[in-house]
Amino acid sequence: MKKILLLFAGLMLIACNDNDDSVLLSPQEQGVNFNRVGKGNLYGNSSENITQQNLVINTEAEWNALKAAMDASNNTTYQFTETEINFDEYQVLAVFDAVKMNGGWTIDILDIAETQDNILVNLDNVRKGDATTVITQPFEIVKIKRTDKAIVFD
């Protein structure tokens, strides 16, 4: 029993050695603050010509073009928390799911984390559809502080 305790104590000393300053925190410990700008569904039966995609928007011109496309069939952007973005300070991340043949779907930005090299955007479909017969295309749009790091959607 003493040998097992000594072995365990030795392993703990090795595992707790803090001489390595190059260890990075995990992405979950380096969360990136983001503000939701808009979330919902497009109802234009693909007439907006927005495909399933993830976008990083860095300019007012790109932002205005996206808003115009989203409003092509229905006024969607009226529900946004803000429509004017200071692109000197922020970037916009927009995620669009595929067109769904029924309602009840979502595309969700669960969290955003920063690593040494990247900004990682964690996506999921929290709601998986229901019995409504409305054709929808889920989206979520957020803004983050401007960064030069690559943005990776997962």
Half-sphere exposure of 85 (CA within 13 A, CB side): 29
C-alpha 80/C-alpha 84 separation (Å) is 10
Residue 131 is predicted with a pLDDT of: 62
- CA-closest candidate to residue 91, choices 141, 29, 153: 141
Residue 132 is predicted with a pLDDT of: 77
> 76 in helix, strand or coil?
coil
Task: Write down the mean pLDDT value for the chain.
Answer: 84
pTM score: 0.80
Residues near 12 by beta carbon (within 8 Å), at least 6 away in sequence: none
Average pLDDT of adjacent 10-residue blocks, the chain of 154 residues: 37 35 45 96 93 98 98 96 97 97 94 94 91 88 97 96
Identify whether the C-beta of residue 101 lies closer than 8 Å to the C-beta of residue 55.
no
Residue 25 is predicted with a pLDDT of: 41
- What share of residues in the chain are helix, strand, coil (percent, to 5)? 20, 35, 45
- CA-closest candidate to residue 41, choices 101, 125, 103: 103
Task: Report which DSSP code applies to 25.
Answer: P
Residue 26 is predicted with a pLDDT of: 56
